[in-house]
Amino acid sequence: MRPEGGVRQRGLVDRRIVFSDEELAASYVFPFVDRRWRVPFVVLALSAGAPLVLDGPLRVDQFRFRTALRTNDLRRIESIPLEDLEQLVHYDPWWVFRRVSGIGRAWIEAVFATNIATPFRYGGRTHKVRDLIFSAELDRLEEIEARVGLFRSVTFHPGDVELLSLRPAPRAQSSLRTVRTAKAL
């Protein structure tokens, strides 16, 4: 059953965020999720500058989001301790952080490690996340839509899967094989 008023991660592109003092355009909005399927903060990738962290509640207002916070309440992503990022996941199918500049490499790599846009194993099968569905306030994750094979879809709900297990394994520990194809001569 589809959550009422749910917000899809793939729909969090080119959104307006209305603060109490100003309205900003965000190219991408990335909710970060903890193991309890709660969103402690979102990262806004604005059209210019480094990504910024928003710690407050958001609510959907048609095609925009509203918050009672001011724009000066936004903070740089480096304000999040690296060890805190080790306990979170996010979904970025576009790998936006590959194009980010102006932040420390350690934070970029820590954010890469939280991205669940890579295949994962569950129940003996390989799955790939297709989308995340959040509550209308972006305060909790309600569903994970995944693909198994080419045509089969699976939906996970809180308690179905441990979120941190969806994080990509370090390259040295990866159990997923990479299949390489030979070039035609």
pLDDT tens by residue, 7-31: 999 999 999 999 999 999 999 999 9
Q: How confident is the model at residue 100 (pLDDT cuts 50, 70, 90)?
A: confident
Query: For residue 181, is pLDDT > 80?
Result: no
- For the chain, percent of residues with pLDDT exceeding 70: 89
> Residue 48 CA to chain centroid, in angstroms?
20
For 114-137, what is each residue's pLDDT tens digit? 999 999 999 899 999 999 999 989
**141-145 contact pairs (CB < 8 A, 24+):** 141/31, 141/33, 141/37, 141/38, 141/39, 142/3, 142/6, 142/37, 143/2, 143/3, 143/6
> Residue 163 CA to chain centroid, in angstroms?
12
Integer Cα distance of 124 and 137 in angstroms: 34
pLDDT at 87: 97
Query: For residue 65, is pLDDT > 70?
Result: yes
CB distance 3 to 135 below 8 Å: yes
The C-alpha torsion from 60 through 85 and 92 to 124, rounded to 10°, is -120
> For residue 182, what are its two tokens?
């030979």
The whole-chain average pLDDT of the chain stands at 88
